[in-house]
Structure 1
């Protein structure tokens, strides 16, 4: 499939914000790992013990946020082989079904993720390390990422329902002229 439609306005800002946040989370994880490694070899008595924990939290947040960008750019797993066998109309309806299933899945992530966050908040659950990190902040990545993905899939669903363009939104068809 060709690239997603060019983004303008709020959607472009949203995508850019996600990429910047993910980049900053990755940079913070890299810095935490570097400080830990350097501390371990240069000043073992002062080395930090919580870096692995923080790196995991940062990377989980980054993965959940970048999942939204993958939904926007068709980067998630999808049945391309099956899509190539279908007509443009068939591809459209399969993509609509895929988007509906994805929205339901994301709604489940949001709902059950929020249940986990609320329980961790209620119990004041904290990590078992010296950092004593509040776990609800870590678990919050699940409903936030699910919500961001749901919004992207809803936008995708709207494009396939109301703004379908066979030349730009189908794959593998030689009988359909594609413009890049």
Structure 2
């Protein structure tokens, strides 16, 4: 019985990386869901404090805004993993296999460049807020580096998911636009 070969088949060569990134993206989805649920409870608390107790709220509105931004940005990799972003399948389905593959590479590469730029610039914004100890101008006045941190983290994880999608496409783990040829 022959032993394992030194050259792994191309379809297995990035599988570990792709699985690891998919696991991280799934955790991002759970985190986004948790942020949304927490925001719901904070909103209910805010309504109770205002309507029933007749008091003003200090931190609730801002906290809900920050939680929903975190849910949106940290949830990006999970939505990408599920192919849940808005897309138009008409063009890829009308193309032949080779053109569909080229379009998939162009689309993923362009998205990767744009999101990497967003990650880079959001890191600078976060760093400036952290360095200068910016605070919100509200009564609550939380340090802004905390909510700003979700931007470079979320966009960075989105870049990682896009890289995993490129690896999956290049190694045959995934078909272009999920369309396998018969």
TM-score of Structure 1 vs Structure 2, range by shorter chain = 0.7 to 0.9
Q: TM-score, normalised by structure 1?
A: 0.82
- The number of aligned residues is 166
Q: How big is each residue's C-alpha offset from its partner over 1:42-68, in whole Å with a ceiling of 9 and x where there is no partner?
A: 2123x4222111101000000001111
1:125 corresponds to which residue?
Answer: 134
Task: Please list every run of 5 or more consecutive structure 1 residues that lacks an aligned counterpart in the other structure.
Answer: none
Task: Please list every run of 5 or more consecutive structure 2 residues that lacks an aligned counterpart in the other structure.
Answer: 1-14
1:93 corresponds to which residue?
Answer: 102
1:146 corresponds to which residue?
Answer: 155
Distance 1:126-1:71 versus aligned 2 partners, 3 A rule? same
What do you get for the CA RMSD once the two structures are aligned?
2.3
Determine which structure has greater relative contact order: mean sequence separation of CA pairs < 8 Å that are 6+ residues apart, divided by chain length: 2
Indicate conservation of the 8 Å contact 1:29/1:59, yes or no. yes
1:57 corresponds to which residue?
Answer: 66
Distance 1:170-1:147 versus aligned 2 partners, 3 A rule? same
2:85 corresponds to which residue?
Answer: 76
2:29 corresponds to which residue?
Answer: 19
**Larger CA deviation: 147-156 vs 134-143:** 134-143
